[in-house]
Amino acid sequence: MSTAVPAWPIISLRWEGEILVVSDSDAALDPRRVLPIPGEDPFETSRRAAVKACTALGMERARVQGVDGDDVVSLIVDAREGTLTEAHAPSAPAPAFDRAHSALEDARGRAEHSRFSRVLVPGLAAASLGARLSGRLGARAAAGTAWARTRKGRRALTAAVVVACAAATAGVVGARQAGWFAPTAQSAQAAAPAPAGQLPVYAPVGWGTFASWTVPASRTNVAPVLSPDGNRVITVSSGRLEALDARTGALVWSTALEGSVSSLRVMAVDGEQKVVVADGSKVRTFGLDGAPGTVFEAGDATARPVVDTGREAFFSLPDQRAMIFTHGSLSLRRIPAGAVAVGVDRGTLLAVEVSTARLWRIGSDAVQFPSPSTIPAPQGATKLTAVYTAADGSLVTVWDGPVKDRSVVAVVPVFPQLGAPTVVKEVASSSAASSTSAVVVDRYAGTVLVNRVLIDTAAGTAVEVPGSSGKLGAGFWWGSQGQATVRVGTAGDTVNSPSDAPVPLFALPDHRVLVEAGTDQSLYALAPEGEKK
């Protein structure tokens, strides 16, 4: 096999603060931004990006140049061996990366050398590179990879690695679709708890203005979400996806995002809980530990999940179609005429025709639909009039009751199979009538608001609230009753609350709640009233 390394086209890997920007001279690859995964040395990020860039262009070996201002270092990347070494140094036998990196570690403290050499050049003697780059780079160097891992250290360097690859561009589209250029998670600089503080406005009834932790934020159109285990608060702030420790507010990990975010969810993707971020025509997934997942591209229809049951979600398309996550991709599902999609169960789309109470489980994009089931009616009910999806994936159904102008509200389990309905409330028909857009689901507390009926799906109970324009938060309904602002619980308990107090987003561990307040919508973890800890 030839060891020659031609010099064109050129792919640039440029460190800009905390991110590595990837592009090429022929514009065969769209520019992408890469961050180190949690605990990863920036050198490893650069080596990994160089190897993958050459692989994406169909190249086995490539010429690399490290550039910072007027300083240039020639390197070689070997995609087969996974190494990044000095171009003019004798080739080290495999595994060269491990031995070369160990050699640099042994040289720690023996010579002043640039962070660039520590980060990007494992096969080059530290003293040699330090001598060659002893000017501007050496002046701001640090002896050791610990400095290179700090946020300050990453921001201090603006360097580039230029990878010269000569090969056909076959496979570039596949690499781009696979999403390897997607942003990856970044370890927090420190795990120090966020500072305590005072809420700048009145607190919602039941909680005080003391916040056990506060985090400045700058979000626009997406609210923070809570992981299913209650341990992580996931938020978008200043173009970054961040995970906070729900108990302390400490930054656990963060990653840069490429565009404006239209939707943020934690949901099941192929049976595994993922952070799902939608930004226009792309949907990106991340593990709860910040590990990058798949980038899905399916056009503007993926801009937001239209049904989020707390289990899985789907994306609405025109002409009785929907797209769902399954087997590592977005798959098309067709919906029978007259039916509406109501949920997803492990790759199967659920659709209901209200007029006939029929339920389909659609597991493929076949032209012929499977045979439907019939949703069982509660005793005395005569006709199904509405179906909504609850936080646990069950169906909230509204039926005409045996008494004129009265409706029966019942919860029907559908996972893993269709079950018997549980009647939760008989109400005036006007109280239960609602358009789908007016239905509010609190998936953290397991409550659903259908017009003026507040339903606790887990307990199988419901109460009527004073109005239909309120909000759900921390297991309560918050809204107006006459001139007063009130909080209504699922048992019907009603107490007054300050009119300008923020509504809790969700409950946190230790009976605290998270709220947004202030002009920048900062986050406050409020302790119960009278408690400070």
- Please list the residues that pair with 204 across neighbouring strands: none
Domain final residue pick, 181, 212, 231: 181
- Higher-confidence residue: 297 or 165? 297
The per-residue pLDDT for range 152-186, each reduced to its tens digit, is 333 332 233 333 333 322 222 222 233 333 333 44
Measuring CA to CA, which residue among 227, 194, 224, 225 is closest to residue 211?
A: 194
Contact indicator for 498, 205 with CB cutoff of 8 Å: yes
Rounded Cα distance between 149 and 39, Å, is 8
Do 424 and 517 fall into the same domain? yes
The contacts of residue 430 (CB under 8 Å, 6+ apart) are 405, 451
Separation in Å, CA 156 to CA 17, 132, 152: 7, 19, 6
Measuring CA to CA, which residue among 295, 322, 303, 287 is closest to residue 222?
A: 303
pLDDT at 91 over 70: no
Rounded Cα distance between 283 and 271, Å, is 17
- Kindly state the average pLDDT of the residues 260-264: 83
Q: What is the pLDDT of residue 427?
A: 87
Task: State the number of CA atoms in the 13 A half-sphere of 473 facing the CB.
Answer: 24
Question: Domain containing 510 — which CATH number?
Answer: 2.40.128.630
Strand, helix or coil at 136? helix
Do 271 and 384 fall into the same domain? yes
pLDDT at 66 over 70: no
Contact indicator for 391, 441 with CB cutoff of 8 Å: yes
Rounded Cα distance between 137 and 503, Å, is 51
Do 518 and 388 fall into the same domain? yes
Rounded Cα distance between 393 and 343, Å, is 7
Least confident of 74-83, 94-103, 205-214, 326-335: 94-103
What phi and psi, each to the nearest 5 degrees, are found at residue 142? -140, 140
Show the tokens assigned to 208: 């005080």
Q: Residue 432 falls within a domain, yes or no?
A: yes
Show the tokens assigned to 524: 């406050």
Which contiguous run of DSSP H or E holds residue 47?
helix 42-56
Rounded Cα distance between 422 and 384, Å, is 14
Amino acid (one-letter) located at 503 = V
Tokens 């009647």, residue located:
423
pLDDT at 238 over 60: yes
Contact indicator for 361, 331 with CB cutoff of 8 Å: no
How many residues belong to the chain? 533
Least confident of 266-275, 356-365, 491-500: 266-275
What's the chain's Rg over C-alpha atoms?
A: 28
- Kindly state the average pLDDT of the residues 346-373: 90
Model confidence at 280, pLDDT cuts 50, 70, 90, reads: low
Do 232 and 261 fall into the same domain? yes
Q: How much of the chain, in percent, has pLDDT values that exceed 70?
A: 65
Q: Residue 186 falls within a domain, yes or no?
A: no
What separation, in Å, do the N-terminal and C-terminal C-alpha atoms of the chain show? 66
Q: How much of the chain, in percent, has pLDDT values that exceed 90?
A: 27
Exposed, middle or buried by CB within 10 Å (0-12, 13-18, 19+), for 302?
buried
Domain final residue pick, 181, 212, 247: 181
Do 325 and 205 fall into the same domain? yes
What phi and psi, each to the nearest 5 degrees, are found at residue 60? -95, -40
Q: How far is CA 139 from the centre of its chain?
A: 39
Rounded Cα distance between 488 and 172, Å, is 56
Q: Residue 401 falls within a domain, yes or no?
A: yes
Show the tokens assigned to 189: 């600089």
Rounded Cα distance between 117 and 137, Å, is 10
- Kindly state the average pLDDT of the residues 297-301: 57
Rounded Cα distance between 374 and 369, Å, is 15
Measuring CA to CA, which residue among 45, 52, 20, 10 is closest to residue 120?
A: 45
- Kindly state the average pLDDT of the residues 522-531: 89
Least confident of 45-59, 126-140, 430-444, 449-463: 126-140
> What is the strand order of the sheet 340-345 is part of?
340-345, 348-353, 358-362, 373-374
Do 449 and 489 fall into the same domain? yes
pTM of the complete model beyond 0.75: no
Domain span including residue 128: 10-181
pLDDT at 384 over 90: yes
Q: Residue 2 falls within a domain, yes or no?
A: no
Do 315 and 410 fall into the same domain? yes
Show the tokens assigned to 491: 């048992």
Contact indicator for 288, 280 with CB cutoff of 8 Å: no
Q: What is the pLDDT of residue 122?
A: 34
Q: What is the pLDDT of residue 3?
A: 59
Q: Residue 150 falls within a domain, yes or no?
A: yes
- Kindly state the average pLDDT of the residues 438-451: 86
Do 168 and 202 fall into the same domain? no
Rounded Cα distance between 243 and 188, Å, is 9
Q: Residue 238 falls within a domain, yes or no?
A: yes
- Kindly state the average pLDDT of the residues 479-498: 93
Domain count, the chain: 2
Give the number of other Cβ atoms within 10 Å of residue 361's Cβ: 17
Model confidence at 462, pLDDT cuts 50, 70, 90, reads: very high
Domain final residue pick, 181, 213, 240: 181
Q: Residue 298 falls within a domain, yes or no?
A: yes
Rounded Cα distance between 462 and 183, Å, is 44
Contact indicator for 31, 22 with CB cutoff of 8 Å: yes
Q: Residue 391 falls within a domain, yes or no?
A: yes
Least confident of 73-82, 229-238, 329-338: 73-82
Do 417 and 474 fall into the same domain? yes
Do 152 and 268 fall into the same domain? no
Q: What is the pLDDT of residue 70?
A: 47
Do 170 and 201 fall into the same domain? no
Do 130 and 59 fall into the same domain? yes
